[in-house]
């Protein structure tokens, strides 16, 4: 039940955050009371309070004793302040923390933000970008939708030709002819570390569970198979389309894993791992006793009945690094182009058998690769 309550408050916080950004409540305007928000959202007052706490912590709203909760007005625009356009595909999962990092960095630099959400619709995204350019943005931070009608390679080339500096977020232009700057999670390294973790616990046969289509599934598979190959592990791979994932798909996945006699699985992402956990229980298996699980994303992994060990992309740091990269480009257009990869960490919980009662975070380095179109210079720092 605790997990369900946590999910409700996060969903409500996302909805309230969107309303603030969309101007439903104007700057310095008062939000409805907690009781009114609870009634309109069909949630409890305690859920509303936790959601509003999130917005207070982000600096979007402020509580005034005896008066209520008010939208914090943006700083008055002034000459020389950069206007940055930001487009993400979703504001419910994964990207709220990325946005928080972007907002913190831009705000600290005195920059203004123009926001859009594409809903994973490439054509809508292209229109949003055109609108932001017309509004006079100085630069763009984009999570491009690569699964649209325009082929990814052509779409990325068009983004590289935009008239203002543009940094891709959580998407990579791997083509050598590509000149897009990006800041991205090193998903290969995240999957590699997940396999290394499971192998360290003694597992010699490990499954890979994927949802398709996704620009992340390829890098995850690459890191998984590299780690497994280096250690001589037996592997099996199960893929299903995002819309196909259901208890029935999880049952098929479990059957494939059992046929291959694996004792552990890396699941991209959290929902797939949670569904597989349910399938294991229906089959009379124990987790982690019969099947150890590691999820990838760490959005809702801690809410599963058996909290899931998870690869956790550094979402807030990703947003901060992307915004900092763009601001440096705006300050000095002659800088070498940057391609930055941030290494995830592993949050160890009960589903892999390494942590029975406590939650721990493995130590992992953050790898930053700064490149021009001709050279690469790797640098390392600690996350």
Per-residue pLDDT at 242 exceeds 80: yes
Per-residue pLDDT at 356 exceeds 70: no
- Which pLDDT does position 79 carry in this prediction? 45
- Which pLDDT does position 144 carry in this prediction? 95
Mean pLDDT of the region 229-253: 96
CA dist., res. 297 & res. 310, Å (int): 7
Mean pLDDT of the region 6-23: 79
- 241: β partners: 212
Pairing status of strand 264-268 against strand 234-241: unpaired
Q: Say which DSSP state 203 is in.
A: -
- Which pLDDT does position 12 carry in this prediction? 86
pLDDT tens digit sequence for 76-89 = 444 457 899 999 99
Residue 312 banded pLDDT, cuts 50, 70, 90: very high
- Which pLDDT does position 80 carry in this prediction? 54
SS3 24: coil
Q: Are 69 and 52 in contact (CB under 8 A)?
A: yes
Per-residue pLDDT at 198 exceeds 90: yes
Please report the DSSP string for 303-363 in residue order: GSSSPPEEEE--HHHHHHHHHHHHHHHHH-TTSPP-EEEE--EEEE-GGGSS-SS--EE--
Per-residue pLDDT at 56 exceeds 70: yes
CA dist., res. 345 & res. 58, Å (int): 24
pTM confidence score: 0.76
CA distances from 26 to 4, 70, 96, 98 (A): 31, 9, 21, 24
Which domains are seen in the chain, by residue range?
2-71 (1.10.10.10), 83-183+315-339+370-382 (3.40.50.2300), 187-314+346-368 (3.40.50.2300)
Residue 75 banded pLDDT, cuts 50, 70, 90: low
pLDDT tens digit sequence for 115-171 = 899 999 999 999 999 999 998 899 999 999 998 899 988 999 999 999 999 999 999
Quote the percentage of the chain above a pLDDT of 90: 61
Per-residue pLDDT at 357 exceeds 70: no
* Crossing angle for the helix pair 315-331 and 95-108, to the nearest 10 degrees: 40
Q: Say which DSSP state 135 is in.
A: T
Tell which wins on pLDDT, 356 or 110.
Answer: 110
CA dist., res. 257 & res. 260, Å (int): 5
Please report the DSSP string for 127-195 in residue order: HHHHHHHHTT-SEEEE----SSSS-HHHHHHHHHT-SS-EEEES----STT---EEEEE-HHHHHHHHH
- 169: β partners: 183
Tell which wins on pLDDT, 213 or 382.
Answer: 213
- Which pLDDT does position 92 carry in this prediction? 84
Mean pLDDT of the region 192-211: 97
pLDDT tens digit sequence for 99-114 = 999 999 998 898 988 8
In 3D, which of 273, 30, 306, 366 has the Cα closest to residue 264? 273
Helix-then-strand count for the chain, H and E: 11, 17
CA dist., res. 30 & res. 122, Å (int): 35
Residue-averaged pLDDT of the chain: 87
Structure tokens at 366: 């953050």
């Amino acid at each position: 039940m605790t997990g369900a309550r946590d999910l409700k408050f996060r969903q409500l916080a996302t909805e309230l955050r969107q309303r603030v950004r969309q101007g439903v409540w104007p700057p310095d305007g008062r939000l409805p009371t907690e009781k009114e928000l609870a009634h309109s959202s069909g949630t409890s007052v305690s859920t509303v309070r936790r959601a509003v706490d999130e917005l207070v912590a982000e600096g979007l709203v402020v509580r005034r004793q005896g008066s209520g909760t008010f939208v914090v007005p943006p700083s008055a625009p002034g000459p020389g302040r950069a206007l940055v356009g930001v487009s993400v595909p979703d504001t419910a999962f994964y990207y709220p923390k990325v946005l928080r990092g972007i907002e913190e960095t831009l705000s600290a630099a005195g920059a203004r933000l123009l926001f859009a959400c594409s809903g994973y619709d490439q054509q809508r995204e292209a229109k949003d970008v055109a609108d932001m350019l017309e509004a006079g943005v100085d630069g763009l931070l984009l999570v491009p939708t690569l699964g649209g009608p325009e082929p990814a390679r052509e779409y990325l080339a068009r983004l590289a030709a935009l008239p203002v500096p543009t940094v891709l977020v959580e998407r990579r232009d791997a083509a050598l002819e590509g000149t897009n700057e990006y800041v991205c999670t090193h998903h290969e390294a995240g999957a590699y570390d997940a396999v290394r973790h499971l192998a360290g616990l003694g597992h010699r046969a490990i499954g890979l569970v994927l949802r398709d289509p996704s620009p992340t599934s390829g890098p995850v598979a690459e890191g998984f198979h590299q780690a497994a190959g280096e250690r001589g592990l037996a592997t099996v791979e199960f893929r299903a389309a995002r819309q196909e994932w259901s208890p029935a798909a999880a049952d098929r996945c479990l059957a494939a894993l059992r046929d291959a006699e694996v004792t552990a699985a890396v699941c991209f992402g959290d929902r797939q791992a949670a569904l597989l956990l349910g399938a294991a229980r229906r089959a009379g298996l124990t987790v982690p006793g019969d099947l150890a699980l590691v999820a990838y994303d760490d959005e809702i992994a801690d809410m599963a009945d058996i909290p899931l060990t998870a690869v956790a992309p550094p979402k807030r740091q990703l947003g901060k690094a992307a915004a900092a990269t763009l601001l440096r480009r705006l300050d000095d257009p002659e800088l070498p182009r940057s391609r930055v990869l941030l290494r995830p960490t592993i949050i160890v919980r009960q589903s892999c058998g390494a942590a029975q009662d406590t939650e721990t975070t493995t130590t992992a380095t953050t790898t930053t690769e700064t490149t021009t179109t001709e050279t690469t210079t790797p640098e390392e720092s600690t996350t």
